[in-house]
Amino acid sequence: MRIGELSDRTATPRRLLRYYEEQGLIVPARSPNGYREYDEYNVDRVLQIRGLLDAGLPTRIIKQILPCLDKPRAIVFADATPEMIATLEHERDRMTERVNCLTRNRDAIAEYLDAVLANRG
Amino acid sequence: MRIGELSDRTATPRRLLRYYEEQGLIVPARSPNGYREYDEYNVDRVLQIRGLLDAGLPTRIIKQILPCLDKPRAIVFADATPEMIATLEHERDRMTERVNCLTRNRDAIAEYLDAVLANRG
DNA sequence: TCGAACCATCACACTTGTGTGAGGGTCCAG
DNA sequence: CTGGACCCTCACACAAGTGTGATGGTTCGA
C-alpha cells in the first residue's frame, strides 16, 4: 500500500510516517516512480511506534528496542551486544518506573472521580 | 527552604523549578528580598510533577490533575466542573492505555532479555 | 487530454521541556 | 568590606515531534 492508505489505517499524518522513516523506525520499499510502498507488517509497526511515543519514549530508544519486540525473534540474538543489553535493561527498568508512576496517579484520579460522581450522583 | 535546597532534594535543575512555577504547577512564597521560599510540601509535589512529566503528560494536563491528587482533598469538590470531570475521565483512560502499552512492551523486552541471557549464561 | 487525487522533496515554524549564560542583586564569613 | 555562594530576571538556543505549505512529478478516470 502507499503512504495514504497507511496514513488512513493508522490515523497517522503522512508527515509523521515520513518522519518515522527518517528516524529509521520504518523502512518502506520504493516503487519505480519513487512512491513509498508499505506492507501489512507496517500497520502494526506504526501503531506500536505511536503507542511507545505516546508513552514517552523517544524515537532514538524506540529504534533500539523495536527489533526485540518482533514476534519471531530468533534472528535477533546476533546483534545483542553488551551495550545493547545494558540499554535494554535500563529501559526496561525505566518503563517499570513509568508504569508504577502512571498507575499510581491514574488510580488517584479514578478514586477522585469516583468520589465526585458518588457525591452528586 | 530556598531554590537551591529544593533543587538538591529533588534532583531538579533550578531552571526547571522556575519553569514549573511559570507553568503554574508550584507557587512558592517570596522572601522580602525576592528569593523563592519553598516548604516540605513542595518536595513531594516536585517529585510527583517529574514523575508525571517523565510519564509523558504535558504540564498543561499535570496542572489540571494535580489538585485531585492531594491527599486531604475534601476542599476540591467545589471546582469539579463538568469540563474538568470530562478532562479527568479522558486523561484517566489515556493513562490506562499508556500503562497497557508500556507494560506490554516492557514485558516483551524483559522476555527478550531473559532469552538472550539464558542463551549465553 | 485535462483535472483531480495522489505522491515526492524541501523548508520554514511552532510547542514543550531543557541548557546555558549574561547582568545584576543579597548575604554571610573571613 | 570584600569574596564567594547564593538568588533574581531575561534571553537566546536546542532537540523532538508535529503542522503547513511551496513546488513539482505520476496516475487515472471523465
| Grid coordinates of A80 | 545483542
Q: Given an 8 Å threshold on Cβ–Cβ distance, is A102 in contact with B105?
A: no
Instruction: State how far the Cα of B71 lies from the Cα of B69, in Å rounded to an integer.
Output: 6
Q: What pLDDT score does A82 carry? A: 86
Q: Of B70, B94, B111, which closes a domain?
A: B70
Q: What pLDDT score does B20 carry? A: 98
Is B76 among the domain residues?
A: no
Is A6 among the domain residues?
A: yes
For the stretch A17-44, pLDDT in tens is 999 999 999 999 999 999 999 999 999 9
Q: What pLDDT score does A72 carry? A: 66
B31, HSE (Cβ side, Cα atoms, 13 Å):
10
DSSP H/E element including B37: strand B36-37
Is B75 among the domain residues?
A: no
Whether B2 and B24 share a structural domain: yes
* Cα four-point dihedral sign B108, B100, B68, A56: positive
Q: What pLDDT score does B29 carry? A: 97
Q: Give the pLDDT of chain B (121 residues) as one tens digit per residue.
A: 999 999 999 999 999 999 999 999 999 999 999 999 999 999 999 999 999 898 888 999 999 889 888 776 655 666 678 888 888 898 899 999 999 999 999 999 899 889 888 877 6
Is A10 among the domain residues?
A: yes
Q: What pLDDT score does B87 carry? A: 86
Q: Does A88 touch chain B (CB under 8 A)?
A: yes
Q: Is A59:A20 a contact under the CB 8 Å cutoff? A: yes
Q: Of B70, B90, B110, which closes a domain?
A: B70
Q: Which of B114, B113, B120, B110 is nearest to A85 (CA)?
A: B113
| Grid coordinates of B77 | 469538590
For the stretch A81-112, pLDDT in tens is 888 888 889 889 999 999 999 999 999 889 98
Residue B73, SS3?
A: coil
Q: Which CATH number covers residue A9?
A: 1.10.1660.10
Structural domain range at position A53: 1-62
Residue B27 β-bridge partners: none
Whether B58 and B86 share a structural domain: no
Q: What pLDDT score does A76 carry? A: 61
Q: Which of B50, B104, B120 is nearest to A47 (CA)?
A: B104
Q: Does B61 touch chain A (CB under 8 A)?
A: no
Is B118 among the domain residues?
A: yes
Q: Residues of B with CB below 8 A from A109's CB?
A: 65, 68-69, 88, 91-92, 95
Whether B108 and B63 share a structural domain: no
A-B C-beta contacts closer than 8 Å: 109
Q: Is A5:A39 a contact under the CB 8 Å cutoff? A: no
| Closest nucleotide to A21 by C1' from CA | D17
| Grid coordinates of B4 | 537551591
For the stretch B70-105, pLDDT in tens is 776 655 666 678 888 888 898 899 999 999 999 999
Whether B5 and B35 share a structural domain: yes
Whether B4 and B50 share a structural domain: yes
| Grid coordinates of B15 | 531552571
Whether B86 and B48 share a structural domain: no
Q: How many domains does chain A have?
A: 1
Whether B108 and B64 share a structural domain: no
Whether B18 and B40 share a structural domain: yes
Instruction: State how far the Cα of B49 lies from the Cα of B44, in Å rounded to an integer.
Output: 9
Report the DSSP pairing between strands B29-30 and A36-37: unpaired
Q: Does A27 touch chain B (CB under 8 A)?
A: no
Which residue in A80, A92, A101 is closest to B110 by CB distance? A92
Which residue in B56, B106, B119 is closest to A92 by CB distance? B106
